[in-house]
Structure 1
Amino acid sequence: MLLLYGLTILAGIANAIQPGQNATLSKSLGLPVTAGLITRLVSSAALLIGGLAIGKLEMPSGQQLAAVPWWAWLGGFFSVLLILAQLYASPAIGAASFLGIIVTVGVAVSLVLDNYGWVGFPVHPASLWRVLGALLMIAGVAMVALF
């Protein structure tokens, strides 16, 4: 479990750094959509190489493919949305505001997903304290964005 928390911390660090990298790639090339495609290709190559290196890359069976809920196939569209926001919004609003908004909106939406057990998450009720925490995050991001 400790390893998973460490991985999550590294992902948080990457989440803060990646928008600047992607925006710089976009600005340097002058081609935002091409920069987004390059980002996805680098990600795909890294997953391919990593999967092969650790022996965890396999082709799913037809039965496995058929068992996937329709909405689970749409994750790639959401990652494209995130990359486009990194390319267009992060340079304009700054790293702190961008990441604050991304994380805070993510927490607020996650409360709803957890409360109803949507998109594969186990039910975790939205208690008063969890909602209050999300509201405090919204206030904090507003302060970061305004000042």
Structure 2
Amino acid sequence: MLAIFIGLFIGIILPMQTAINSKLRTFVQSPFTSSMISFTVGTIYLAVMTLISGKSLFVSAATFSDNPWWIWLGGLLGVFYLTSNILLFPKLGGVQTVIMPISGQIIMSMLIDNFGWFASAVHPFGLTRLVGTIILVAGLYVTIVLPDQLEKKNTIEGEKTYVKEVWFWRLVGVLAGMISATQIAINGHLGTVLDSSIHASFISFLLGSVILIVLVGIKERGYKQITLAIGPGKAWWVWLGGVIGGTYVLGTVYLVPVLGTGAAVVIALFGQMIGGILVDSFGLLGAKKNPVVLAQIIGLIIMIIGVILIKLT
């Protein structure tokens, strides 16, 4: 019961991280600066957790020479995923910013499993996963397309540009999810190499922080924008995005050996959907309030059934 509660908790808080980082972006006026702050805070948090676990923060020279180059790409992919979510949130709202990346994660994770990419164990794409995928697509249609059709947005001439833009961002969300699944596979192998998932997460966050610090320094010509998030009227919780991201990582590290990978992923995804609904329905953490309609609830339930069939087989 405790493991299920933890899985739901870390899933629920993940959409809140996106809402927090999006609010931080409005202060610092840059998605990259917002991502840099989140990554840096998460890196410090995971550094402390790594030391508490008894592991060193450093990596031996042999680790670099004896392993494939791609095990160090997790940080770069994490930068793309986090920054994409910050850009997606004001465009799509909390629910769709959760479910579009989830769709990409499912697609990419099945490809990785089927072909054994990134030193992953091979799990062939069978009939049950095919049925689960069909159900997942049906759930996506009910959640995303059906509400628009019910409101007849697509029949309004003035909404055509809006619809095209929304679908562009939805596709970006799917791509971000595919990159996230790739990052998870890479970090999983790095965790095996380092004999510590927490240490691997710290390394991934550290590399992501370095990339963003360099990127922000070049693109924004300095770091003065950070001060825009400090002062009267600036919510203190905008600095907590990295802590939430680190907590999610630590939660998955605990859950996988207890529940197994499939069950841990399903419970966390269920939590993410709940979190997305809460953020949208109540406009939490400075988010725009987007009431969730019945069709979306039904679609999410259908999606959960599909995810269960995919992940638990």
TM range (shorter): 0.7 to 0.9
Counterpart of 1:31?
30
CA 1:53–1:22 in structure 2 vs 1: closer, same or farther (change >3 Å)? same
Indicate if the aligned counterparts of 1:20 and 1:86 stay in contact, CA closer than 8 A: no
Counterpart of 2:139?
140
1:36-57 deviation digits (Å, cap 9, x = unpaired)? 1001101111111111122223
Indicate if the aligned counterparts of 1:104 and 1:134 stay in contact, CA closer than 8 A: no
| SS of structure 2 residue aligned to 1:55 | coil
The sequence identity of aligned pairs, in percent, is 26
Indicate if the aligned counterparts of 2:47 and 2:57 stay in contact, CA closer than 8 A: no
The separation in 2 between residues aligned to 1:14 and 1:121, in whole angstroms, is 28
The separation in 2 between residues aligned to 1:9 and 1:47, in whole angstroms, is 21
Counterpart of 2:74?
75
| SS of structure 1 residue aligned to 2:62 | helix
Aligned residues, how many? Answer: 145
RMSD: 2.0
Counterpart of 1:104?
103
- What is the CA-CA distance between 1:81 and the residue it aligns to? 0.9
1:64-120 deviation digits (Å, cap 9, x = unpaired)? 221221111111111111111111112210111111111111011111100011012
| SS of structure 1 residue aligned to 2:73 | helix
1:60-71 map, 5 Å: 60-71=59-70
The separation in 2 between residues aligned to 1:9 and 1:100, in whole angstroms, is 16
CA 1:134–1:17 in structure 2 vs 1: closer, same or farther (change >3 Å)? farther
Q: Please report the TM-score for the alignment, with normalisation by the length of structure 2.
A: 0.43
The separation in 1 between residues aligned to 2:112 and 2:7, in whole angstroms, is 19
CA 1:80–1:13 in structure 2 vs 1: closer, same or farther (change >3 Å)? same
- The letter for the 2-side match of 1:130 is R
Unpaired runs of 5+ residues, structure 1, are: none
The separation in 1 between residues aligned to 2:39 and 2:57, in whole angstroms, is 20
CA 1:112–1:85 in structure 2 vs 1: closer, same or farther (change >3 Å)? same
Counterpart of 2:181?
none
Counterpart of 2:21?
22
The separation in 2 between residues aligned to 1:97 and 1:113, in whole angstroms, is 24
The separation in 1 between residues aligned to 2:72 and 2:89, in whole angstroms, is 27
Q: Which has the larger radius of gyration?
A: 2
- What is the CA-CA distance between 1:142 and the residue it aligns to? 2.9
Indicate if the aligned counterparts of 1:48 and 1:57 stay in contact, CA closer than 8 A: no
Unpaired runs of 5+ residues, structure 2, are: 148-313
Indicate if the aligned counterparts of 1:111 and 1:131 stay in contact, CA closer than 8 A: no
